[in-house]
Amino acid sequence: MKQALLYTESEIDQLITKLTDEEKVALVIGRGMDNVGNLGVIDGRVPGAGGQTHDVKRLGIPDIIVCDGPSGIRINPTREGTTKTFYATAFPSETVLGSTWSKELAQQIGTALGTEAKEYGIDVLLAPGVNIHRNPLGGRNFEYISEDPVLSGVMAMHLINAVQKLGIGTSLKHYAANNAEHNRLFSNSLVSERALRELYLRPFEIAVKGAQPWTIMTSYNKINNKYTSERRDLNYQLLREEWGFKGLVMTDWYSGFPSVEVIRAGNQSNDVSAQLRSGNDLIMPGSKIQLEAALADVKSGKLSKKDLDFAVRNVLNLVSKSPTSLKYKYSDSPDLESHAQLSRKIAGEGTVMLKNADALPLSSNTRIATFGIGSYHLVVGGTGSSEVTTAYNIPVYKGLQNANFSLYKPLLDKYIPYVEEEEKKDIERRAKLNKLAPLGVISQLEISDQELAAAAANTDVAILTFGRNSAEEQDLNVDTEYNLSQDEQSLLNRVSEIYKKQHKKVIVVLNVGSVMNTSWRDKVDAILVTWFAGAEGGNALADIVSGRVNPSAKTTATFPNSYSDVPSAQSFFATEASDHRDIRYTEGIYVGYRYYDSFKIATAYPFGFGLSYTTFDYSDLKLNKSEFKDDIKVTLTITNTGKTAGKEVVQMYVSAPKGTIDKPVKVLVDFGKTKLLQPGESQTMELTIGPKEIASFHTDKSQWLADAGIYQVLIGKSSQNIVLKSEFNIENTLVVEKVKPAFTERLDFKDLKNK
């Protein structure tokens, strides 16, 4: 369907000739956030939205509204002068969506996000994020999809297409190599061009080529000593010339500033003109001092009319197709009930079952003891741009009650009032701070030996839930967040010991934003990872526990045996020996399963792993050609061989022959998910092997090359459980793409090699 527009291209040409320099500068500098303590527009038509553009009333150019975020619409739930509420759906985080491995669900959540945003008067949704899970301590891993560029890019592509089909924009972020939060305003990602192109830029490329997001947001960090917002090779050469991007590039909020203190002081410390010259079209959120600086640079010639007009054109193109410009009559009443049901569905299909020793599902008459603060305090999602004000949330215990399970009352009586009081205190604490303030940690309650013995004697199963907060501006720590804290480990040990003595089952639920240490896994009978499952988290968990929903999720990041096994363990946190806080990506292309599988490092749970209540057989693997010249179509049959209906994720990896540069032992090239298969039912799946997915980037030649030789096609139930194999040949080395050199700083990269 052709996109409706307020202006034709020729009309935009005419508008640009009519605009004064002052008006042009205003169009490329955002507005709406005068106080950095408030994270949203206070007095605009959508209070709490992330920002807006300037209008030009003289020429009838309207302003438009942009709004977070990745897990739902982040706006104020109440407004002055009305008793109506404006709550939004707190959807599961992007890691949950990734764990579904479902392109269909990516489309469905995109439709719901887009609908909700449009009905609340939003023009651009600031999502999705596709940064790679480089390290388990990444503070915003929850906001990103996976450790793999293909899974990340393809899922984002489907979400973006669904949103934009509704006539509302998206903002693909954070571009690029924004894999840590500590010192994010001035951290410096030192990363080779090969690692950038094969890993950190690849999901952006896939999403841009497959969905053409209306906007892209540059990140805070530097890449190789230059802010991403000031890199023309990143924002113009790659994005527009190589990938064919047609939209608008905006900065992240206050990017290019060295500290929050400088922003609050109102000092002009970033180079607005450098950002505009480098391919940023819209400086967000904008300030008076930036307007003045940009205008002065136009008059002095530091910012050319050509660069300014280029940015103005992209802003006008965005404005032209926005719901506001097309006078969409939004209702302020999206269908929150149906969106809650979708949220529950995605949360259930995104819950990974890591272990099940005949513990799940539970029969309806099972008596359950719910231990741990996490069973009563749900971490709905991360804070910052992903935080959604929702009318309610369903913690684990409440979801189990809603499913009519019998819960041990003395524990409820002990935990519930304590958690409610602590939550109230935290709300009061955060109200005094800005909206980036992280959630507080609620200390574990002491459970006496007598209380524990009574619970074990009067219940059949123990469920322990461990939760983790995640937030902008901070990463996790090893001792109490990647690992269980001492209090958590003690509780787990004591519960496990007494229940095991009575031959009763222990189930652990992980309400976390990133992978964590599971060295305690032999002490328990089942492990469920819900990630940040949104407001319906408890109901979705109960669906899995009861067997109403058969688990079908797969991990999107590898669970290592210990943090020391992570390839970036020694280089994740920025060094402080220089002003720009260097983060050295010494592992190069070996991130996640590319590292563990290539270097034969044992893991707790591999990439793409997840259990089901049923079993599946894989058969009839066929390739439509044995010689690669262009796309190869691959088919195979999946059969449900168990006794329960279920869905199966199909993962296709390719192992390339040795060539002139080292390569991972395998890489994911495509994936799919079956429909709900009844026992005995089969489905034929079709996957595709494309040239870019099997090529490696040769920095010295500025080429993507697929070496001559035999390529193995590997169909897996995880990256480490390959069940079908085939092969194809490339007779002569294939030049997939020739590009211009980028990131040409002469830095001494010593990337890890697989020898």
Residues 215, 114, single domain; the answer is: yes
721 pLDDT more than 60: yes
Residue 590 has pLDDT above 70, yes or no: yes
Residue 528, SS3 per DSSP: strand
Domain-embedded: residue 333: no
The total of other beta-carbon atoms located within 10 Å of residue 748's CB is 5
We report the CATH number of the domain holding residue 702 as 2.60.40.10
pLDDT for position 47: 93
Where are the strands (E) in 142-183, listed by range?
Answer: 169-175
- Residue 260: pLDDT above 70? no
**Tokens coding 106:** 């990516």
Q: How many CA atoms lie within 13 A of 523 on its CB side?
A: 17
Count of beta carbons in the 10 Å neighbourhood of residue 737: 13
Asked if 91 and 343 count as a contact pair (C-beta separation under 8 A), the reply is yes
400 shares a domain with 440: yes
419 pLDDT exceeds 50? Answer: yes
pLDDT at residue 3, as a whole number = 84
What percent of the chain clears pLDDT 70, i.e. is strictly above it?
Answer: 95
Closest CA to 117 of 66, 83, 155: 66
Question: Can the peptide bond before residue 92 be classed as cis, meaning omega within 30 degrees of 0?
Answer: no
Retrieve residue 589's tokens: 């292309």
Question: Which amino acid, one-letter code, is at 225?
Answer: N
pLDDT bracket for residue 427 (50, 70, 90): confident
* Euclidean distance between CA atoms 422 and 417, whole angstroms: 9
Residue 419 is assigned to a structural domain of this protein: yes
The kind and range of the H/E element at 189 are strand 188-190
Whether 175 maps to a domain, the answer reads: yes
| CATH number of residue 249's parent domain | 3.20.20.300
The pLDDT assigned to 438 comes to: 78
- The answer to whether 688 and 698 are in contact (CB under 8 A) is no
Helix (H, G, I), strand (E, B) or coil at 718: strand
Nearest to 170 by CA among 113, 240, 242: 113
CA–CA gap between residue 205 and residue 191 (Å, rounded): 18
Pair 174, 217: CB distance under 8 Å: yes
Q: What is the pLDDT of residue 263?
A: 60
Q: Is residue 629 scored above 50 in pLDDT?
A: yes
Task: Pick 547 or 436 by higher pLDDT.
Answer: 547
Report if residue 253 sits inside a domain: yes
Q: In this structure, is residue 416 part of a structural domain? A: yes
Q: Above 90 in pLDDT, residue 437?
A: no
Q: Let me know whether 265 and 167 are in one domain.
A: yes
- The count of domains in the chain is 3
**What is the rounded distance in angstroms from the CA atom of residue 336 to the CA atom of residue 510?**
27
Helix (H) or strand (E) holding 687: strand 682-689
Same structural domain, 156 and 299: yes
* pLDDT band of 265, cuts 50, 70, 90: low
Residues in the chain: 755
Banded model confidence at residue 38, pLDDT cuts 50, 70, 90:
very low
61: which DSSP letter? Answer: B
Is the model's pLDDT at 253 over the cut of 50? yes
Residue 712 — left, alpha, or beta (φ > 0 → left; ψ -120 to 50 → alpha)? beta
Residue 431 CB: number of other CB atoms within 10 A? 9
Same domain? For 455 and 506 the reply is yes
Residues 92, 170, single domain; the answer is yes
- Cα separation, 95 vs 572, in Å, equals 20
Instruction: Examine residue 575 and state whether it is found in any structural domain, yes or no.
Output: no
Residue 31's SS3 state is: strand
pLDDT at 35 over 80: no
Residues 364 and 313 in one domain: no
Residues 370 and 490 in one domain: yes
Amino acid in the structure at residue 236: Y
Helices (H), 19-58: 21-28
Q: What is the pLDDT of residue 36?
A: 41
The string of DSSP codes covering 302-345 is: SS-HHHHHHHHHHHHHHHHTSTTTTT----S---HHHHHHHHHH
Mean pLDDT over residues 547-553, rounded?
99
327 within some domain: no
* Domain's final residue, options 541, 557, 573: 557
pLDDT band (50, 70, 90) for residue 183? confident
Is residue 353 located within the same domain as residue 316?
no
pLDDT at 221 over 70: yes
496: CATH = 3.40.50.1700
Choose the most confident range, by mean pLDDT, from 41-50, 390-399, 573-582. Answer: 390-399
379 and 307 share a domain?
no
Residue 45 pLDDT: 86
Contact call for residues 156 and 145 (beta carbons, < 8 A) = yes
Question: CA 560, CA 593: separation in Å to the nearest integer?
Answer: 10
Residues that are catalytic: 252
Q: What does the pLDDT read at residue 213?
A: 99
Question: Do residues 93 and 532 make contact, with C-beta atoms less than 8 angstroms apart?
Answer: yes
The residue among 557, 574, 601 that closes a domain is 557
Mean pLDDT confidence for 603-631? 98
pLDDT, tens digit, for every residue of 457-503? 999 999 999 999 998 888 999 999 999 999 999 999 999 999 999 99
289 contacts 266 by C-beta, under 8 angstroms: yes
Cα–Cα distance for residue pair 461/370, rounded to 1 Å: 9
- Coil, helix or strand for 414? helix
Q: What is the pLDDT of residues 66-123, one digit of tens each?
A: 999 899 999 999 999 999 999 999 999 999 999 999 999 999 999 999 999 999 999 9
Question: Is residue 672, in this structure, part of any structural domain at all?
Answer: yes
Which one has a higher pLDDT value, 725 or 475?
725
Treating both helix axes as pointing N-terminal to C-terminal, what angle do 305-320 and 9-18 enclose, rounded to 10 degrees? 130
Quick check: 7 and 1 in contact, CB under 8 A? no
Cα separation values, 90 from 116, 336, 347, 485, Å: 11, 10, 11, 28
User: With 80 as the cut, is the pLDDT of residue 420 above it?
Assistant: yes
Residue after which a domain boundary falls, among 321, 353, 388: 321
Same domain, 400 and 311: no
pLDDT above 90 (res 259): no
Q: Are residues 206 and 237 in the same domain?
A: yes
The answer to whether 334 and 112 are in contact (CB under 8 A) is no
Name the residue range of residue 167's domain. 9-321
